[in-house]
Amino acid sequence: MSPKQLARMMKKMGIEQKDISGVKEVILRFDDKEWVISSPQVALIKQAGSESYQISGEKTERGLTAGTQTEAPPIKKEIEIPKEDAALVASQTNVSIEEATEALKETEGDLAAAILKLRR
């Protein structure tokens, strides 16, 4: 199967694949070691609302030093809420735009979830 045919078939199935350029290193950290993949090829695969990453490259393994065994803080992505979305949620729940915006941030922009959250 040619790459074009494969891409067409994946698109029909709702799968989108995109190469990510500029990645210098990928680190997989375990409780007692790390896998380091240098100069990796990374692809983002989107399907049914979820994202997966495919990584290929040369793996090296190294132990953790005492300072690197702490758990990394979770990365919270700040999303931008459109004013129209906040206004809609505010009008449906009789709250301020600020409260609606906060609820939308907590629900990662999900309008229905924000409305339900504010109606409780």
CATH class of this structure's domain 3-66: mainly beta
What was the pLDDT predicted at 66? 62
pLDDT 10s digits, 39-82: 999 999 888 778 899 999 999 998 887 665 556 666 666 788 89
Nearest residue to 65 (alpha-carbon basis) of 35, 99, 18, 33: 33
What are the extents of the domains in the chain? 3-66, 83-119
Which residue type is seen at 45? I
Residue 73 DSSP code = P
Q: What is the mean pLDDT of residues 92-113?
A: 91
What was the pLDDT predicted at 37? 94
pLDDT at residue 97 tops 80: yes
The residues, ordered by sequence, that sit 6+ positions from 85 with a Cβ below 8 Å of its Cβ are 104, 109, 111
CA atoms of 24 and 33, how far apart (whole Å)? 20
For the chain, give the percent of residues with pLDDT over 90.
52
> Taking a C-beta distance cutoff of 8 angstroms, is the pair 49, 64 a contact?
no
The SS3 call for residue 37 is strand
CATH number for 83-119 (one of 1.10.8, 2.60.40, 1.10.760, 1.10.1870): it is 1.10.8
The residues, ordered by sequence, that sit 6+ positions from 70 with a Cβ below 8 Å of its Cβ are none
Nearest residue to 62 (alpha-carbon basis) of 33, 98, 42: 33
In sequence order, what E strands does the chain have? Answer: 15-20, 25-29, 33-47, 50-63
The residues with which 34 forms a beta bridge, in sequence order, are: 29, 62
